[in-house]
Amino acid sequence: MSITRRTFAKGALGTLAATALAGGVAASDVFAPKAAFADDAASRGEWKPSWCTNCHLPMCATQVLVKDGIVREIKGDPDGCNAGRLCPRGLSNIGTLYSPYRVQSPVKRTNPEKGLDVDPQWVEITWDEALDIVAQQLLDACAYNPSSIAACEGFGSEENFMNSPFFIALGTENVLPTTGSLCPEHFNQLHDNGQILDRVDLEHCEYVLEVGRTMSNNFAATADEQCAIYADAYRRGTKFVVVNPMSPHSAQRGEWVPILSGTDTAFALALIHEMIHELGQYDAWWLRMRTNAPYLVADEAVFFKPDRETHRGTYCKNAAGKTLCWDEKAGCAVPFDAPNYDDFALLGTYEVDGVTYKTCFQALADYTADKTPEWQEPLTTVPADKVREIARDLVEHAHFGATIDVNGYTFPKRGSVVYCGRGMACHMLGTEAGKAFGIINAMLGAVDVPGGMQGNNNASWVEFRTDSDGMIEPWLNMPEQVTGGEGLVYPPTVIDLHQWYPTFHNNPYAMWEVMCDMKKFGFDYEMKVLYAQGSDPLSSMVTSDYAVEALKKLFVFEINNQYDQLSQFADVILPDNSAIEKDAMWRLCETQKCCDDRTRGLMGQMVRRPAIEPIYNTRNAEDIKIQILARMDKLSGAQAPDMSKVVDFGAEVIGPMMGGAFGYLPIYNFIYNGDFQDACFPDYPSDALPPELELDPFTEYTYREIVDRKLEALKGCKGFEGFELSYFDKCAFWRYELPLEQGYNYWWAPENQVRMPVYFERQGRIGQELQNSCEALGVTVPGQDMEHLYSHYGALPMWYEEGAAWKPTEEFPLKLINWKIHYGVNYNGQLGENAVLQEVVDTFNPQVKRLWINPVTAEQYGLAEGDVVSIESEFGRFGAQEGKVHLTNLISPQHVGIPGNLGRKSLYMRPQEDWGINFNRMISPEMHTVNPCNTGLEASPRVKISKVK
Amino acid sequence: MRYGYVIDTGRCVGCDACTIACKHNNGTPPGVFFAQVIHEEKGEYPNAYMEYTPLLCMHCKNAPCVDNCPTGASLRDENGAVYVDADRCIGCRQCIAGCPYHARWYIASDPKGYYPEKGMTAKESAEFGEFGVGKVVKCTMCRERVAEGEMPSCVQTCPSDARVWGDLDDPDSEVSVLIHTMHAKPLAPEYGTEPSVYYI
């Protein structure tokens, strides 16, 4: 074979041209330029580097062809992490750039009345007027109370790194990222390997049990070559067994196991039962060495509600406070970090100092003794025999005891893994399911090793840390879901109420009800201003009538390049450049979803220079923020913040802590100065700003100038040898890679240096501390039944039928589900109104704009393809909405489905005949309906449908 | 040399990136799709599946469109790419009638662009001149890109590497190897046009 698509993609064009001219190799014969087109080729234009921001992995490097100042073409950059590929979202950057429905100039509303269907009657104004209005409103709010400013950022712009210093400079505590309330899928990953997301190692894995995930449907992503890696695995024979109420691509190419949504916990418990009690097969070596399975624990069942068995337990500790395991050879309890972990008892009950303890694994075994496949069948609809078959396949493909040599390092190698997603997590019992599937991966020994589940970050960047019990303790991103953070903070100071929930993930949806009656929730001030960038806090979360009421009272301004639902309530919009017009900088420090040897150790730096001048009267969002702060005299300020206050890096944490005492530029210096780098990223190449590059707090820099100082500081750093700024004039992605073995995080903390839970002792402890705090203060969590709340903080995966299943009722007989589609992820790029993309959808795949229903169910309702139905949720505060049905055998009969995130519309968006159906209107923002551990929304409400025509 | 494609429908995830890349990079007006993907559900619950069939001009060796063209406007270049010389096209549409793969498009009126209520965008204004009224247009196998040493847009962009392109005359090329080892077949071979696009 003389050339492959991949070898071609990775070979730079320059190389090919050179070999062609030199008379070169076989490849050059294939691709040698043809003389007939030589002149045309020269006139086609100039390729300029850029990158795409239209998904969570905003790192697909692109090249755009510019001719006469007009972008004519776009393609993936062969030297990017996408290796020349580009998905529908990335290609759609051109459509966004030239859309006449962009915000083309600063605008202010002239109609004081606000509403979802009320025309703001925009008028264009100058930048000076717009910035003056916004700065004055912010100054007034700061004078009243800085926290009267609600600051929202979100997935609509993945380049809002600069929001952190912006929020800090404003001084508000109400930093409210509208990001993860519909994808709280981080719980099990954070517990298992301290990282926020999974990536399945498709290089070595041969059996993937995929739960609540849509590989390929959103894997059309080209970042990190994900989709190609998935397709390679499929062609290589990797088996995908997909547990899901709907059938994604991997199920269609593998095997689909339909399940009633929200019941994954019962399914997982039955798998654990099979592995322990029927098969007796699990990775005992791994459990002893790498988990708390051998820890001795005083486990007890607590019944906060009659139908809920919550487990809590305390470890057996010695006088020095060290947690103990039972040494079977020595016949006594020994500290967990004793070197002879192979001698630790995995099962059994032991007496230590007159007290009887179980091993954690025994507690799990006891708990799952009656969780048989037959027990779960009526709950989940998964046949018992299928559970047995899957359990058998998982252990057979695991190859316990197998090893593999990678660059001279011997790793354990596993061949089966459980891979979960938001469809598993977005439920009342989502964290319980997360615990259960995490336990299964622990029993397979399939974490951080070849063939197993990998964290999204390499441990060179996010090092392993442990608590005093040797258990993994995440620290960089979302650590609260494991550590419980500060515990209960009372009275709450942030209006999203997250401080009531020690292990919260993201719950900005709660702010709307609070804003409507601040005093009721314990706040002694009123909100004045709402700012949003990359965030439509209306349609990005659950839409509710509280939001409409709250927004009418506020001064609202957006930095945005397109109108969205929030724009209906905005007073001023400051128009951002489109990605292709925009300077940006992004550190590639993670890969997600899946990996193989091509991408496991991939890291790099991305820098985008504008490929063309802005075509409208727009500015870079980062420059806009600098200009606002300059008008507020907040660029300069006090010295750098107190390092001791830094526990995390990110707007949601760093912002509230700084309290507005610091100017923007000193903060920026702080983020890039050596102290911060050393404190937070000790193993990462230092790229601190040296003294000669530090920002002068009395100078109003452009964002480009700040970026270039950062880049200057990278010169000569590890991974950046030979680096020059001019590199980014040709390619937006500077690549460096870890040695292959270092891409497996086990390498960084082998054997028993870190342990993952099969018994979530800390969750029980956090719940007990929350209960103690609430009772001591005599307070209750707003909107919560406290027994319900406490019951969810347990050490073992809890199951109770009503909470888990939201069983269909006579009034609401169907369950609604939602999944990601590849035409747009979250709100990135606002692709739901992208003209070319939506034309392709409407022409070739209009089904994604319809309500999916199984033909058997459709027959009961007398429905045919394309019929219009009314859909009403038990939760919907906006009542019913209408949509066309799509009859499909790719969804199980108990469910109806709304794909993707379509149906978001407002008056100034591009008008469409078919907007699709909006899922977010069907779910609930009320706290008693959400997962009480991570505050994730219940994404499978019961619904009823009726035929309209 | 004869360039051709192998399309692995097992790898295709139905994302339509090929369609969108083709539209942006060839600047085609609304309703014109040189590349497209047919999404079709097959099978019964729970064994149903989506069958994706990426389509484009088959660049047939025995292309009836070339043979049918009365003015010699439909041509095949030295690499096997079938294209239309717009200067010679009289819009008789005999090529369309002769194409069993519906791979040609007739421009019946001035393209209005994607935002007819707002006028043409700068990109549309620069590109729609290629789509003269009364002309037939089609996939050219991205001849200009190929001349620059690139792959056709639909191939380069494919997230799952479902589209492979290369020299069918080279027995060692990836396309030839795939045709041989994966038993790739053209669509509707009964028309006898010897397509240059093979499917797995």
Interface test with A, best of B28, B39, B45 (most A CBs within 10 A): B45
Residue-wise pLDDT for A54-89, tens only, equals: 888 888 999 999 999 999 999 999 999 999 999 999
Distance from the B157 Cα atom to the nearest Cα atom in chain A, whole angstroms: 4
Question: Can you read off the two tokens belonging to residue A118?
Answer: 């009320």
Q: What pLDDT is attached to residue A940?
A: 93
Q: Which residues of A738-768 are buried (b: 16+ CB within 10 A; e: fewer)?
A: beebbbbbbbbbbebebbbbbbbbbbbbbbe
Whole-angstrom distance, CA of residue A662 vs CA of residue A669: 11
Q: Any idea which of A20-24, A290-294, A398-402 has the lowest mean pLDDT?
A: A20-24
Mutate which: B157, B165, B182, vs A, most A CBs within 10 A: B157
Q: Quick check: A66 and A97 in contact, CB under 8 A?
A: no
Measure A887 CA to nearest chain B CA, in Å: 10
- Residue B186 is predicted with a pLDDT of 97
pLDDT score for A676 = 45
Q: For position A57, what pLDDT does the model report?
A: 81
B-facing residues of A in 910-949 (CB < 8 A) are 910
A216 at B interface, C-beta within 8 A:
yes
Who among B114, B150, B158 is closest to A836 (CB)? Answer: B114
**pTM exceeds cut of 0.90:** yes
Cis peptide before A88 (omega within 30 of 0): no
The three-state (H, E, C) secondary structure of A404-436, written as one string: EEECCEEEECCCEEEEECHHHHCCCCHHHHHHH
Token pair 């995130």 in the structure block, residue:
A901
- Tell me how far CA of residue A239 lies from CA of A202, A210, A244, B78, in angstroms: 11, 10, 16, 43
Question: Distance (Å) from the C-alpha of residue B76 to the closest C-alpha of chain A?
Answer: 14
Question: What is the tens place of the pLDDT at every residue in A341-358?
Answer: 999 999 999 999 999 999
- pLDDT value for A787: 96
| Range of lowest pLDDT (A74-88, A231-245, A289-303, A641-655) | A641-655
CB-defined contacts A:B, below 8 A:
226
DSSP H or E run through A314? strand A308-315
Question: Average pLDDT for residues A642-658, to the nearest whole number?
Answer: 37
Asked if A844's CB is within 8 angstroms of B115's CB, the reply is no
pLDDT at residue B2, rounded to an integer? 95
Pick A100's closest partner by Cβ from B118, B153, B156: B118
pLDDT at residue A603 above 90?
no
pLDDT at residue A36, as a whole number: 39
How far are the Cα atoms of A620, A804, A827 from residue A179, in angstroms, in the given order?
22, 24, 10
- What is the average pLDDT score of chain A? 87
**CA distance to partner chain A, nearest, from residue B1 (Å):** 8
DSSP bridge partners of A65: A47, A73
Among A73, A92, A234, which would you mutate to test the B interface (most chain B Cβ atoms within 10 Å of its Cβ)? Answer: A73
A519 close to B (CB below 8 A): no
Shortest CA gap B16–chain A (Å): 7
Sign of the torsion formed by the C-alpha atoms of A36, A38, A39 and A41: positive
* Across A6-20, A744-758, A847-861, B183-197, least confident range: A6-20
Please report the pLDDT score of residue A199 as a whole number.
Answer: 92
d(CA A675, CA A682): 10
Between residues 103 and 162 of chain B, which touch chain A (CB distance below 8 Å)? 114-115, 118-119, 121-124, 126-127, 143-144, 146-151, 153, 155-162
CB of A65 within 8 A of CB of A73? yes
C-alpha span between A536 and A156 (Å, rounded): 8
* Position A641 pLDDT exceeds 50: no
Among A700-704, A810-814, A844-848, A942-946, the minimum mean pLDDT is found in: A700-704
DSSP label of A274: I
Does residue A845 belong to the interface with chain B, where contact is any CB pair within 8 Å? yes
The pLDDT score that the predictor gives to residue A131 is: 98
Helix (H, G, I), strand (E, B) or coil at A246: strand
Cα distance from A415 to chain B (closest Cα, Å)? Answer: 22
Q: Does B173 touch chain A (CB under 8 A)?
A: yes
Reported as a pLDDT band with limits 50, 70 and 90, residue A31 is: very low
Highest mean pLDDT among A27-36, A666-675, B128-137: B128-137
User: For B36-90, what is each residue's pLDDT tens digit?
Assistant: 999 999 999 999 999 999 999 999 999 999 999 999 999 999 999 999 999 999 9
Count CA atoms closer than 13 A to A615's CA, side-chain side: 22
**If DSSP codes are grouped into helix, strand and coil, which group holds residue A139?**
helix
Mean pLDDT of A296-316: 96
Stretch B176-192: mean pLDDT: 95
What is residue A194's DSSP assignment? S
Classify B69 as helix, strand or coil: coil
Torsion of CA A194, A199, A203, A209, to 10 degrees: 100
A5 CB neighbours in chain B (<8 A) are: 151, 155, 161, 164-165, 174
Q: A908 and A784 in contact (C-beta within 8 Å)?
A: no
Minimal CA separation from B46 to chain A, in Å: 7
* Closest Cα in chain A, distance from residue B100 (Å): 20
pLDDT at A645 over 70: no
**A915 and A835 in contact (C-beta within 8 Å)?**
no
| Contact assignment for B14 to A845 by CB distance below 8 Å | yes
How many helical (H) and strand (E) elements, i.e. helices and strands, does chain B have?
7, 9
Averaged pLDDT, A352-379: 97
- The answer to whether A43 faces chain B, any CB pair under 8 Å, is no
* Chain B CB contacts of A36 below 8 Å: 147
| Cβ separation B21–A72 shorter than 8 A | no
- Structure token pair of residue A333: 């309890």
Contact check, Cβ <8 Å, A100/B48: no
The vertex-A735 CA angle with A421 and A720, nearest 5°, equals 130
- Cα separation, A31 vs A20, whole angstroms: 8
pLDDT at position A763: 97
A169 pLDDT more than 50: yes
Q: In angstroms, rounded to a whole number, what is the distance separating the alpha carbons of residues A596 and A355? A: 48
Q: Is the pLDDT of residue A675 over 80?
A: no
**pLDDT over threshold 80, residue A308:** yes
Q: What is the pLDDT of residue A688?
A: 57
Give the integer Cα–Cα distance in Å for A818 and A423.
8
The larger pLDDT score, comparing residue A160 to residue A807, is at: A807
**Which residue matches tokens 């088959």?**
B58
Closest CA to A448 of A398, A411, A421, A394: A411
- Helix, strand or coil for residue B147? helix
- pLDDT tens digits for A810-843? 999 999 999 999 998 877 888 989 999 999 999 9
pLDDT for residue A771 is more than 80: yes
Model confidence at A40: pLDDT above 50: no
Tell me the sheet residues that pair with B50. B41
What is the pLDDT at residue A766? Answer: 97
Q: In one letter, which amino acid is A14?
A: G
Contact between residue B73 and residue B106 where contact means Cβ atoms under 8 Å apart: no
Q: Give the pLDDT score at A695.
A: 74
| CB-count burial class (<10 Å; 0-12, 13-18, 19+) for B134 | middle
**Residue in chain B nearest A70 by alpha carbon:** B123
Q: ipTM of the assembly?
A: 0.97
Which has more confidence, A605 or A418? A418
